[in-house]
Amino acid sequence: MTYRLLFVCLGNICRSPSAENIMNHLVQQRGLSQQVQCDSAGTSSYHIGSSPDRRMSAAAQRKLGFPLVGAARQFEATDFEQFDLILAMDQDNYAQMSQLDRQGKYTERLKLMCEFCREHTLRSVPDPYYGGEDGFNFVIDLLVDACNGLLDELIETGAIQG
């Protein structure tokens, strides 16, 4: 059985596609591609169909050796049923998705990405969109930490076989 992860930010062009691409890379490195499937989405409709932000992709290329791939899409209420775990990049994203789950049926599936950090102590992944290169680089580092922690936790809890 495949464990499905959905990473969510505001526009789905910086943070969430970075998390999706980083997690796909880690999953492949650990030989877990048959067990984990990743996707990403945005809470807004600003960038539907757009590729990841070129500055974010450049940071991934510099720091990790690969560019980001994907096309932005908007989060939909039906995503709650399609994914085992939905990871919000910040509290605003979390709140917007929670509003779509009025009965609280999927509360257990919705988490903040930074809950899985092992090295960083931030509660939210900052949006680098209006900042400079350092912000994009920092988001890559933060997401590598969170993705590694998430993957370790999925193995530790038995959600996937490591």
Nearest to 124 by CA among 89, 72, 82: 89
Nearest to 15 by CA among 83, 88, 76, 115: 88
User: The tokens of 29 are what?
Assistant: 């490195």
Q: What's the CA gap between 89 and 16, in Å, rounded?
A: 7
Cross-sheet strand order for the sheet of 36-42: 36-42, 3-9, 85-88, 110-112
Which residues make Cβ contacts (< 8 Å) with residue 96, sequence separation at least 6? 43, 75
Catalytic residues: 9, 15, 127
Count the neighbouring beta carbons within 10 Å of the beta carbon of residue 53: 22
Per 3-state DSSP, the chain is made up of helix, strand and coil in percentages (nearest 5) of 45, 15, 45
